[in-house]
């Protein structure tokens, strides 16, 4: 699409001060345009991010260009740094390395806070018996998240992941070694992403993805291949905002006695009652209480 003297495009990669833009921003199949951002664009708040919709003016033979304008963002994540996503695919291995449920919870909270859909993908299911991870499948399905069990090696779950990605911009997020790149290679064999392994000494994955990139999908849409990470700060959240980030609480929160109930010490709390009755997963609730106390402590530290 032409916009004055420029074309609309989408930033799919940033490296060394250069941007690569996909014309039309829809995975159209056109060749990517290597760009530099105009000075006033780079200086604007937020600069240019992978995932941005932009206006590009082609120069020379048309294979290069200048980013003239960044269009308003629908949302943006900080870690991984990517804008305008529809959903987050939260990836965790069932073993090698062992699942880090606390990290999964933090990622889910952040992406839901940004207004993204979220689904949970458990990888490497060929490395452990189903009984070892059945509780995770049950926990996240009970919470209302699409939860897919996969193996890049055997192909289990790959068609379901491919369907979940169709037509959307999805960000893959999770710790290093979870098998994100291997899964993306299975979903789209043409990607040829470098796959990592797990350090035997520390039991964590080695970083293989070095930068955020948007990758085109044959069926339309993009996936964001992102570096692994292990720390996600939630200190800027308000306590009620944390409670609202748990969709499995929502059906019961309106029945609590107090408006703004935090579902901890308050009497007549419908969420606590749902936990006792098994309607809300106790493990999810316990992780919520840990994060609630973490936020309280952060506020106490702030005013010392």
Q: Which CATH number do you get for residue 27?
A: 2.40.50.140
Positive or negative CA dihedral for 120, 284, 130, 195?
positive
Specify the pLDDT at position 209.
Answer: 46
Task: Out of 225, 259, 276, pick the residue that ends a domain.
Answer: 225
Specify the pLDDT at position 191.
Answer: 62
C-beta separation of 140 from 147 below 8 A: yes
pTM: 0.82
Specify the pLDDT at position 61.
Answer: 74
CATH number for position 292: 1.10.40.50
Number of H helices and number of E strands within the chain? 9, 14
Are residues 83 and 213 located together in one domain of the fold?
Answer: yes
Q: Which residue has the tokens 């082609």?
A: 58
Are residues 88 and 103 located together in one domain of the fold?
Answer: yes
Specify the pLDDT at position 137.
Answer: 96
Are residues 218 and 102 located together in one domain of the fold?
Answer: yes
Are residues 211 and 265 located together in one domain of the fold?
Answer: no
Positive or negative CA dihedral for 25, 30, 31, 35?
negative
Are residues 58 and 122 located together in one domain of the fold?
Answer: no
Which residue range is the domain that position 266 belongs to?
Answer: 239-302
Residues 6+ apart with CB under 8 A from 167: 219, 220, 221
Specify the pLDDT at position 287.
Answer: 94
Are residues 277 and 295 located together in one domain of the fold?
Answer: yes
Are residues 13 and 42 located together in one domain of the fold?
Answer: yes
Phi first, then psi: give them for residue 124, nearest 5 degrees.
Answer: 60, 35
Question: Which of 176, 172, 196 has the alpha carbon at shortest distance from 184?
Answer: 172
Specify the pLDDT at position 51.
Answer: 94
Count of domains for the chain: 3
- Can you tell me the distance from the alpha carbon of 63 to that of 68, in angstroms, rounded to the nearest whole number? 16
**Residue 235: how many CB atoms within 10 A of its CB?**
11
Are residues 137 and 83 located together in one domain of the fold?
Answer: yes
Are residues 153 and 132 located together in one domain of the fold?
Answer: yes
Query: Is 231 a domain residue?
Result: no
Are residues 81 and 32 located together in one domain of the fold?
Answer: no
Are residues 82 and 61 located together in one domain of the fold?
Answer: no
Specify the pLDDT at position 220.
Answer: 85
Specify the pLDDT at position 192.
Answer: 57
- pLDDT below 70 — which residues of the chain? 1-5, 25-30, 190-210, 226-233
Specify the pLDDT at position 29.
Answer: 53
* Cα 165 from chain centroid (whole Å): 13
Are residues 252 and 113 located together in one domain of the fold?
Answer: no
């Amino acid at each position: 699409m032409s916009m004055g003297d420029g074309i609309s495009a989408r930033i799919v990669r940033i490296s060394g001060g250069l941007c690569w833009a996909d014309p039309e921003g829809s995975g159209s199949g056109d060749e990517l345009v290597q760009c530099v951002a105009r000075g006033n664009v780079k200086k604007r708040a937020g600069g240019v991010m992978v995932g941005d919709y932009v206006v590009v003016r082609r120069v020379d033979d048309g294979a290069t260009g200048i980013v003239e304008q960044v269009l308003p963002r629908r949302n943006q994540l900080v870690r991984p740094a990517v804008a305008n996503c529809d959903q987050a695919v939260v990836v965790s291995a069932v073993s090698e390395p062992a699942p880090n449920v606390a990290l999964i919870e933090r990622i889910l909270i952040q992406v839901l806070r940004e207004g993204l859909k979220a689904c949970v993908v458990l990888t490497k299911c060929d490395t452990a018996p189903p009984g070892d991870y059945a509780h995770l499948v049950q926990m996240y399905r009970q919470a209302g998240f699409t939860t897919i069990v996969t193996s890049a090696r055997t192909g289990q779950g790959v068609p379901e992941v491919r369907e979940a990605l169709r037509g959307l911009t999805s960000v893959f997020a999770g710790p290093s070694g979870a098998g994100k790149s291997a899964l993306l290679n299975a979903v789209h064999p043409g990607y040829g992403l470098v796959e990592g392994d797990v350090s035997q000494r520390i039991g964590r994955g080695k970083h293989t993805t070095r930068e955020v990139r948007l990758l085109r999908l044959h069926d339309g849409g993009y996936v964001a291949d992102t570096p692994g990470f292990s720390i996600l700060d939630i200190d800027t959240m308000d306590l009620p905002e944390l409670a609202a980030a748990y969709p499995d609480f929502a059906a019961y929160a309106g029945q609590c006695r107090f408006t703004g109930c935090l579902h901890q010490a308050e009497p007549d709390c419908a969420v606590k009652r749902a936990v006792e009755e098994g309607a809300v997963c106790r493990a999810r609730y316990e992780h919520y209480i840990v994060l609630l106390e973490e936020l309280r402590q952060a506020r106490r530290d702030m005013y010392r």
